[in-house]
Amino acid sequence: MTTTTAPELVASCWTSAGSAAPLQNPETSPVPIAERLEAIASTGWSGFGLAHDDLATARATLGFPALRDLIDVAGLRYVEVELLTDWWDESLAPAWRPKFDLLLEAAETLGARFIKVGTSIGKPLDDLDFLVEPLRRLTAEAALRGTRIALEPMPFSMVGSVPVAADLMRKVDLPGCGLVVDYWHVFRAGTTLDELSASLEADKVFGVELNDAAAEVRGTLFEDTRDNRRLCGQGDQDVTGFIRSLKALGFDGPWGVEILSDEHRALPVKEALQAAHATTLACFPADSR
């Protein structure tokens, strides 16, 4: 008789952040970290993510070693930390370098699997060769602290799609540098599941983020991604097909869930986490639940 193990789900940072949102200043969650961890653990998640501003607050208050103790007591197995931008521009190092140092410290102390990095909001670029050496430098530093670098392509950023990002990874050519593949960004970039599968190797997929979206964009792409994402199975993306495609490549979790919407932020955190977990689990093929 065969048995299946339930998929392990990671509540990406915004999924448990309450009313906080990207590019809000600061991006700090109003939910105390201990309460947040309790809500995550009690609703069935295997891990969670924290953004830079929450990490800075945690370090300044309880400290990273004490946070690691809370994570262990909660029984959470996976930690993700984010997000670094401007890392390719040495003239901006006085701004991004302290953020990277904090993320490195957090990753090392908390046992984060990778540090998520992004690129500037704007039109996707055709020539990304200028990012190769900076990514190699970040990756070398991350390796010294026991973690990796994971780049997230977004259709409203310099690295606009997963196929383009996968080509960049082949040029970087380091085992400690890979990708976060967020289905919202795949869907909005117009990348089909066949194109996605053809472009990727499993060893370059460090993280996956599940979510859903309506067929039509509301507002700008950034406004749509921040305010209008749907729970898995409640939009027009083929979430189950996406999961099948990633599993066929050889990726089998843990699976991040990143829900960003006005509706999600308005809910009590535990209720929001319960809804995100249950709807995501329902999208997994029956033989993998």
CA angle 85, 239, 201 (to 5 degrees): 60
Q: What is the pTM of this model?
A: 0.96
Give the contacts of 163 (CB within 8 A, at least 6 positions apart). 191, 195, 196, 198, 199
- pLDDT tens digits along 193-206: 999 999 999 999 99
Element (H, E) at 49: strand 47-51
Query: Is residue 174 over pLDDT 60?
Result: yes
- pLDDT tens digits along 113-160: 999 999 999 999 999 999 999 999 999 999 999 999 999 999 999 999
How many angstroms separate the Cα of 187 from the Cα of each of 164, 181, 191, 232, 260?
A: 15, 11, 6, 13, 15
Question: Domains in the chain, ordered, with CATH?
Answer: 9-288 (3.20.20.150)
Closest CA to 76 of 48, 114, 51: 48
Query: Is residue 4 over pLDDT 90?
Result: no
Task: Place 3 in a pLDDT band, splitting at 50, 70 and 90.
Answer: very low
- pLDDT tens digits along 224-246: 999 999 999 999 999 999 999 99
As a whole number of angstroms, the distance between CA 21 and CA 40 comes to: 18
- For residues 80-102, b (16+ Cβ closer than 10 Å) or e, as one string? bbbbbbbbbeeeeeeebeebbeb
pLDDT score at 1: 38
| Residue type for position 289 | R
The conformation of residue 121, written as its DSSP 8-state character, comes to B
Closest CA to 260 of 227, 220, 224: 227
As a whole number of angstroms, the distance between CA 283 and CA 255 comes to: 12
As a whole number of angstroms, the distance between CA 7 and CA 121 comes to: 33
Task: Place 40 in a pLDDT band, splitting at 50, 70 and 90.
Answer: very high
Length of the chain, in residues: 289
Query: Is residue 223 over pLDDT 50?
Result: yes
With contact defined as beta carbons under 8 Å apart, do 89 and 122 qualify?
no
Task: Place 6 in a pLDDT band, splitting at 50, 70 and 90.
Answer: confident
With contact defined as beta carbons under 8 Å apart, do 153 and 179 qualify?
yes
